Amino acid sequence: MDKVTTIEEAAALVPDGATVAIGGLSMNSAPMAMVRELVRQAKRDLTVVGIVAGMPVDWLIAGGCVKTVVSGLVSFEGLGLAPNFRAMVQAGTVGIEEYSEHLLICRLQAQAYNLPFMPTKAGLGTDVLALHPDTLRQEVDPTTGEHYVACTRLPVDVALVHAHAADARGNVRVEPKLLWMDSEIVNAAAVTIATVERVVPGREFTDAPERTTYPRFMIHAVVEAPYGAFPTSLFPNYGHRSAFFDDYSTAARDPQTFKAFFAERVTGPPTWRDFLDANGGAGALLDIARRTA
Amino acid sequence: MTAPVPGYDCTVDELMVVTFSRAMSNDTLAFNGAVSFIPVCGYLLARRTHAPELVWAASSIAIDADPATIPESTLSDGLWGGASMLSNSPFDFWTYAQGARYNTFAFRGAQMDAFGNVNNTVIGPYDAPKVRLPGGGGMADLGAMIPRIFLWSSTHNARTFVERLDFRSGMGWGDGGDHRRRLGMPGGPQLCITNLCVFDFEPVTKRMRLASLHPGVSVEDVRANTGFEIVMPAGEIPVTAAPTADELRILRTEVDPTNARHREF
C-alpha cells in the first residue's frame, strides 16, 4: 500500500473537531508544513495537544482553527511570547487546558498502553491537579503509602510529526533518533501523518532496519516536505529561523499588520515551495543549514 | 539591567552567574529548561572551574554539551555542541528525573512566593486571566521530583516576589514546614539568587531568608522590593562574595562570549 500522498490529501484526514497532537518541542521539529495546510483548509474546532509548543499552536490559533489548547507551555522561548496564544486565551476566545510536560506524557502513555491510568509524581503539590478532576487523580498507594497522580488516557485522533525520511509503505526514520515526545503522541493516536524531508526507496529501510523509528502500521500517510519544520529546526539538518520569529512577533503588535503578514508569509503562498520562497528562499535555507554548509 | 556592581569589577548578571556556579559541585547532575541563561552559564562556569565532573544535559537533551556560544534559546539545538549523548525525553530524561539520578534543577517564575513556589501560568484568575503566561512546562513535574532546586530572578520587585501566587505552577517548599516530606518529595529549594540579593531557606519554616546582599543593596531595598516578609538571619548579613578574576574571564571569554545571558535582563 502506497501511503505517499499530497499535503492537501493528508490534511483531509483531519476532520473539524478532531483532537490533533503536534510533534516537536518548542523551537524544534514541529510539523509546520502540515500545520500550514490545516490553516489553509480552514479546519475548525480542533483540540490541539502540544506538550511544549510554540509556533505551530500560534499558527493554528491565528487561523481560527482551535477550540482548546492542551499544553504545558506555549511560547517562543528566548524570542518572546506566542502572541496569538496569549491574546486569544486571555480574551477567552480559545480555551486552555494547562497540564505539565510529564502529566501529558503520562496521559498519552496510558492511552498508548491501553491502561486506565499511568502514575507519576509530577504535579503533586501544585494547582495543576485541581484544574483536571476528571483526568488527574491524586492517590496514595495502599502498599507503600506513596503519593502519586493517576493520569487517565488521552485519546488522540491525529498525530502530526515531522521526520527525516520515510518509504512509500510508511516506515519512518528519525535520525538521529531524537524524538522529543513524538513517540508518545504517535503511540496514542488513531492516525499519524508523517511529513518527511525525503521519501526514499524501501531498500534503505530493509538494509538498515535498526534505524527505523516508526513501523509502517503506525503511520497512515506520508508527505514529502523538504524543510517541513521551517521555521523550527530539524536536528541536525537545519536550525530554527530566528528572522521569521522576529518578523512574526513584530507584525503581531498590530492586528491589521499581522493579518497581512499571516496572509503574505504563511497562508497565501500556494505551495510549500512558494512558502519557503516567501520566507527568504535559498538564502534563508542556506543560513539555517549551518551544519551541512 | 546588567548594571555594574559597586566596588566589584563585574555586572550584576555576572555576579549572579558566579554565585550560582559556586553553589554547584562535582556531584551535580543538572539539566535546563526554557529561558535559563543564568543557570546554563552557571553550570558551564562551574564545570570549567571547581566542578569538572558536573553533569549538565543541555535543553534536558544533550548530555555533556560544551557549546562554543550560547544561542538565543536554551531549548535550541544550538546549545548542544560537543555533547556525548543526545537523550530522548520519555525514556531517558524522565527516567533520570523521576528516578532521582538528576539531582539539580533551576526554575524561575513570573511570580515566586516565600516558600520558593513559582507561577508561570497566569496573572489574575486562571479562568479570566489579566495576563496569560506561557505555562509551567515541566515545573509541576520537576519541582516534585528533583531534590536540589535553585531559583533565580533578574526582576527582584514586589510584582515578582509576592505573598500569594495567582497559580502554583511549580512546587518549591509548598506550604512550608514538612509539606514536601509529607508528599514524599526529595529535598527542596536551596537558594534563590536575584539581582539584589541571595536568599536561602529557614530550615524549619522553609521561608526565604536573606543570606547575602549584593554590594550597594540595603536590607530596606530588599524589603521594599519583596511582597512577603523576609526571614532575617541572626547576626550581620554578609555581602555576596566577589567573583574572582578567573571566573569573570572564563565567563566572558569561554562560557558566554556573546552575552546571551543579557536576554534575561
Is residue B75 within 8 angstroms of chain A, CB to CB?
yes
Which among B98, B134, B145 is the nearest to A74, CB-wise? B134
Contact between residue A66 and residue A38 where contact means Cβ atoms under 8 Å apart: no
- Report whether pLDDT(B43) > 60: yes
Distance from CA of B114 to the nearest CA of A (A): 15
- Report whether pLDDT(B2) > 90: no
- Percentage of chain A surpassing pLDDT 70? 99
The secondary structure element, H or E, covering residue B12 is helix B12-22
The answer to whether the Cβ–Cβ distance between A123 and B141 falls below 8 Å is yes
Distance from CA of A269 to the nearest CA of B (A): 28
Look at residue A291 in the predicted model and tell me its pLDDT.
57
Q: Please tell me whether residues A11 and A145 are part of one structural domain.
A: no
Q: Is residue A128 part of a domain?
A: yes
Distance from CA of B119 to the nearest CA of A (A): 10
Residue B67 three-state SS: coil
User: Quick one: which of A155, A158, A157 has its CA closest to A34?
Assistant: A158
Residues of chain B found within 8 Å of residue A86, distances taken between Cβ atoms: 131-132
- One-letter amino acid at B81 equals G
Which of A75-79, A204-208, B8-12, B142-146 bottoms out in mean pLDDT, i.e. has the lowest?
A: A75-79
Task: List Cβ neighbours of B244 (8 Å cut-off, separation of 6 or more).
Answer: none
A124: which 3 cell numbers? Answer: 503533586
**Which tens digit of pLDDT belongs to each residue from A167-194?**
999 999 999 888 899 999 999 999 999 9
Q: Is residue A288 part of a domain?
A: no
Q: How many domains does one find in chain A?
A: 2
Q: Please give the average per-residue pLDDT across A240-250, as a whole number.
A: 96
- Note the pTM of the prediction, 2 decimals: 0.95
Residues of chain B found within 8 Å of residue A123, distances taken between Cβ atoms: 140-141, 144
Q: What is chain B's mean pLDDT, rounded? A: 96
pLDDT band at B1 (very low <50, low <70, confident <90, very high): low
Look at residue B262 in the predicted model and tell me its pLDDT.
95
The answer to whether the Cβ–Cβ distance between B132 and A90 falls below 8 Å is yes
Q: Please tell me whether residues A134 and A214 are part of one structural domain.
A: no
Q: Please tell me whether residues A172 and A220 are part of one structural domain.
A: yes
Give the Cα separation of B166 and B102 in Å (integer).
29
Look at residue A293 in the predicted model and tell me its pLDDT.
35
CATH number of the domain that A200 lies in?
3.40.1080.10
Domain of residue A178: give its range: 7-99+155-235
Q: Is residue A276 part of a domain?
A: no
Give the Cα separation of A123 and A113 in Å (integer).
21
Q: Please tell me whether residues A169 and A75 are part of one structural domain.
A: yes
**Which tens digit of pLDDT belongs to each residue from A90-136?**
999 999 999 999 999 999 999 999 999 999 999 999 999 999 999 99
Q: Which of residues 133-172 of A touch B (CB under 8 A)?
A: 146-147
Q: Is residue A281 part of a domain?
A: no
Q: Please tell me whether residues A129 and A75 are part of one structural domain.
A: no
Q: Please tell me whether residues A85 and A171 are part of one structural domain.
A: yes
Q: Please tell me whether residues A140 and A183 are part of one structural domain.
A: no
Q: Is residue A177 part of a domain?
A: yes
Q: Is residue A162 part of a domain?
A: yes
Q: Please tell me whether residues A15 and A145 are part of one structural domain.
A: no
Q: Is residue A185 part of a domain?
A: yes
User: Residue ranges of the domains in chain B?
Assistant: 12-258
User: Quick one: which of B147, B43, B135 has its CA closest to A50?
Assistant: B135
Look at residue A292 in the predicted model and tell me its pLDDT.
42
Q: Please tell me whether residues A212 and A147 are part of one structural domain.
A: no
**Of the residues A235, A261, A278, the one at which a domain ends:** A235
**Which tens digit of pLDDT belongs to each residue from A280-292?**
999 999 999 975 4
- Percentage of chain B surpassing pLDDT 70? 100
- One-letter amino acid at A203 equals R
Q: Please give the average per-residue pLDDT across B249-262, as a whole number.
A: 97
DSSP assigned state of B66: -
**Architecture category of domain B12-258 in CATH:** 3-Layer(aba) Sandwich (3.40)
Task: List Cβ neighbours of A118 (8 Å cut-off, separation of 6 or more).
Answer: A106, A107, A109, A110, A150, A151
Q: What is chain A's mean pLDDT, rounded? A: 96
- Report whether pLDDT(B29) > 60: yes
Q: Please tell me whether residues A215 and A190 are part of one structural domain.
A: yes
Q: Is residue A257 part of a domain?
A: no
**Which tens digit of pLDDT belongs to each residue from B155-164?**
999 999 999 9
**Which tens digit of pLDDT belongs to each residue from B201-238?**
999 999 999 999 999 999 999 999 999 999 999 999 99
